[in-house]
Amino acid sequence: MPSQKRVMWKSFIVGCFKDNPFSNSSLDETHTSSVSKKTLSRRISLSDLSNSSSQSIMSDLSNSLTGIGSNIHIFTYQELKEITHGFSKNNFLGEGGFGKVYKGFIDEKFKPRLVPQVVAVKALNLDGKQGHREWLAEVIFLGQLKHRNLVNLIGYCCEDEHRLLVYEYMERGNLEEKLFKENAGYLATLPWLTRIKIAIGAAKGLCFLHEEEKPVIYRDVKASNILLDADYNAKLSDFGLAIDGPGEDQTHVTTRVMGTRGYAAPEYIMTGIYVSYLFV
């Protein structure tokens, strides 16, 4: 299993951890803490931020993460506009609850230490139901957790009101398109062995999240959030609703009900109590 990576947050904190007038939801109240069994340093979480002032957040993150390398890149809004050709309609890939997604092209001259590649750029819709909290959750979780069955976060943009995320590009799109979209042409051509491969990949991603010493509750397992690469390897995406799971001395956590009805477990919908087996 690949080792976990951690983010250098100093340049990120000043503009992104203070209150945001356009944020559509607040930090979850769930609070757990533990030391990651995969690394020597404690994983930063949303619960850490919900109980601290901006100044103490900066100090805590600085002290905890200074000196730890990262492969997360910080982009300017202009840079992301450039690689998507001005967020061109020709580069438009789709739209979800967070906002629109565009295809981008990074060449060898674009940014030092950044491998030339095709990327997916997701831009927060400021008039949508999601906001700064969901963007922050994606950066915190995917900026630290690395696994072959989690989508790779390459970088982010936090500039003025703009909140964007840059991911690896997934050639096959999402599973929902392959299973349900009308006229997609995949209903008869997605073999059962491929379907099983996808299911196992998604399960491995969830298993990785559950087996963290500080478990992660994903809260949004559905076909549209399972992305597929060229070889139909499955990767979980969209961590905007994710929160920290129960600690060592807890059996569950209680949260306000989030997720997609029809996919979320009825026990969770009725009680707001989440335990790991409700993911499956």
First-to-final CA distance of the chain: 22
Burial class (CB in 10 A: 0-12, 13-18, 19+), 147: middle
Q: Is 231 a catalytic residue?
A: no
38 annotated binding-site participant: no
Neighbouring-strand partners of residue 124? 99
Residue of 48, 220, 238, 244 marked active site: 220
Token representation of residue 39? 């690394």
| Distances in whole angstroms, Cα of residue 103 to Cα of each of 89, 111, 132, 173, 178 | 10, 17, 22, 12, 19
Helix H, strand E, coil C: the string for the chain is: CCCCCCCCCHHHHHHHCCCCCCCCCCCCCCCCCCCCCCCCCCCCCHHHHHCCCHHHHHHHHHHHHCCCCCCCEECCHHHHHHHCCCCCHHHEEEECCCEEEEEEEECCCCCCCCCCEEEEEEEECCCCCCCHHHHHHHHHHHCCCCCCCECCEEEEEEECCEEEEEEECCCCCEHHHHHCCCCCCCCCCCCHHHHHHHHHHHHHHHHHHHCCCCCEECCCCCHHHEEECCCCCEEECCCCCCEECCCCCCCCEECCCCCCCCCCCHHHHHHCEECHHHHC
- Active centre residues (catalytic): 220
Binding-site residues, in ranges, read 122
Please give the annotated binding residues for ATP, written as ranges: 122
